[in-house]
Amino acid sequence: MEVIFLGTGTSQGIPVIGSDHPVCKSNDPRDKRLRVSVLVQCNKNNILVDCGPDFRAQMLTHNISHLDAILYTHEHNDHTAGLDDIRPFFFRQGDIPVFAHERVINSLKKRFEYIFMAENKYPGAPSVGINIIENKVFEFNSLSIIPVNLMHNRVQVFGYRFGDFAYLTDAKTIAPEETTKLKGVKVLVINALRQEQHHSHFSLQDALEFIEEIQPERAYLTHISHTMGFHEEVQAQLPPNVYLAYDNLKITI
């Protein structure tokens, strides 16, 4: 299995528009972060987790020519705003399967009404195959995927475990019975917004404590704000098996 970090930034991305913050002015490419998304490549499947506002640029950067499914974590705009840009995939492949909690599907239906219309669709509008998921394991193209329920302040979020790999973003609290699903995971991706505490995201310290509890072989931090600091300086302070993810990083599991 290969995982490409398509974006590792928080909702505004880095640089933030108009910001004079030194991290926003950094020349280190690892300090430039698009909105969060990963592409999981397994058994020739390209499975996208979240389809945010930078989706088009992310697909072009990695020369992705087919998309097998989109899994959504939750309905926030930084995770969903790119849906219209599935059009080139739809024209070549037909309906693109999407998997999400029912509440998230309903939110997408409101915001992208023309994509979900059953009749009298405007020519050129893309279509999706709707798959509502609950908090239980599901299969896609003989791949077994385990949803992990997370809380993002009051918003429910799904993280996903694919075999030895788990991707959890926009978490602030995780119930013990959900943590159990992560036992034995080799590579864990978890959100860490910044050094200071936040009402709906893990801080760096929250994330490090969670990694300590789960004990993966390797952990990667994502959904990073410019206020976290320079990539190089933050990375130097992390435990040896913990890495700040950065855009376009590819890992093999």
Counting contacts by CB under 5 A, is residue 78 touching Zn ion?
yes
Buried/exposed 188-208: b ≥16 CB within 10 Å, e otherwise:
bbbbbbbeeebebbbbbebbb
**Radius of gyration for the alpha carbons in the chain, expressed in angstroms and rounded:** 18
Stretch that binds Zn ion, among 77-85, 109-117, 159-167, 176-184 (CB under 5 A): 77-85
Closest CB to Zn ion among 11 and 235?
11
Closest CB to Zn ion among 196 and 232?
196
Counting contacts by CB under 5 A, is residue 76 touching Zn ion?
yes
Residues binding Zn ion: number (CB under 5 A) = 3
Q: What is the bridge-based pairing of β-strands 37-42 and 45-49?
A: antiparallel
Stretch that binds Zn ion, among 70-78, 80-88, 177-185, 228-236 (CB under 5 A): 70-78
Counting contacts by CB under 5 A, is residue 247 touching Zn ion?
no
Counting contacts by CB under 5 A, is residue 75 touching Zn ion?
no
Q: How far is CA 179 from the centre of its chain?
A: 18
- Using left for φ > 0, alpha for ψ between -120 and 50, and beta otherwise, residue 52 falls in beta
Closest CB to Zn ion among 68 and 78?
78
Q: At closest approach, how far in Å is the CB of 35 from Zn ion?
A: 7
The Cα–Cα gap between 235 and 129 comes to 40
Residue whose C-beta lies closest to Zn ion: 76
| The one among 170, 178, 206, 247 contacting Zn ion by CB under 5 A | 170
Q: At closest approach, how far in Å is the CB of 27 from Zn ion?
A: 26
Stretch that binds Zn ion, among 43-51, 92-100, 140-148, 162-170 (CB under 5 A): 162-170
Residues in the site for Zn ion, rule: CB under 5 A? 76, 78, 170
